[in-house]
Amino acid sequence: MKDKILKKAAEKFLTLGVKNVTMDEIAADLGISKKTIYTHFSTKIKLIEATTYHVYENMEKGIKEIGNRDLNAIEEHYVIKDFALSCLKDENSSPQFQLQKYYPKIYSEINKKQKSLMENMLRKNLERGMKQGFYREDIPVNFLCRIYFIQMLGIKDRELFPETEFSTSQLVENQLEYHLRAIVTEKGLETLKSYIHNND
C-alpha cells in the first residue's frame, strides 16, 4: 500500500503541484481512508518528502540503466530526455517552484542530488562523445556540466518561458539541441541532424 500511495501522490503532485493536492484527494483516488495514508506517512510534509525522493530514485535508476546501454553519445542524450519527460509526466513548473517556496529544505536536498546525478551523467556522456568522435576534443567539460544544469533549471522559469508559448517538451527539446550543436564535430552534427529528422 505504501508504494501505491507514493505512486498516486507523485502523479498528483507532478500534475497539480504539491500545495494544491490534499490528503483527502489522494485517499479518494486510491479508494482508501485518509487514516490509511497517515499510517504510512504521519504528515503531509512526510508524504511530500518521501514522494520527492521516490521520483528522484526512479529517475536515477532509469538514467543509470540507459547509461549502461550501448548507445552513441547523441542518442543517449535523447533517450534520457524522453525517459525524464515520461517520469515527470511533462510537468509544468508548478511542482518545482511550489516545493522551493513552501518546502525549501526538501527542495534544497533534492536539488543537490539532482545536480550530482546530472553532472555525473553529463560528464560520462561528454567523455563517451569525445571518444566516439561526436564531440570536439577541446570542450570545457567542467564548465559544460555546470551550465547544463543551470539551463535545465532556467527553462522551467515560466516568467521567461510562458506555458502559452512553450510546452515543457518543446523547451527540453530546444535546450538539448542547443547544447549539442555547441559541442559536436562535423560527424556529430550529421548524426544529430539525422536523429532529429528520423524522430521528428
17: phi then psi, degrees, rounded to nearest 5? 100, 145
Condensed to tens digits (0 to 9), the pLDDT of residues 112-162 reads 999 999 999 999 999 999 999 999 999 999 999 999 989 988 998 888 998
Domain locations along the chain: 2-198
Q: Identify the DSSP state of 93.
A: S
Of the candidate ranges 42-46, 84-88, 169-173, the one whose mean pLDDT is the lowest: 84-88
What pLDDT shows up at residue 90?
54
Burial class of residue 15, CB neighbours in 10 A (0-12, 13-18, 19+): middle
Q: For the domain bounded by 2-198, which CATH number is listed? A: 1.10.357.10
Task: State the Cα–Cα distance between residues 88 and 133, nearest whole angstrom.
Answer: 32
Q: Does the pLDDT of residue 49 top 70, yes or no?
A: yes
Contact of 135 with 188, CB cutoff 8 Å: yes
Q: Does the pLDDT of residue 54 top 80, yes or no?
A: yes
Give buried/exposed letters for 124-159 (b at 16+ CB in 10 A, else e): ebbebbbeebbbeeeeeeeebbeebbeebeebbebe
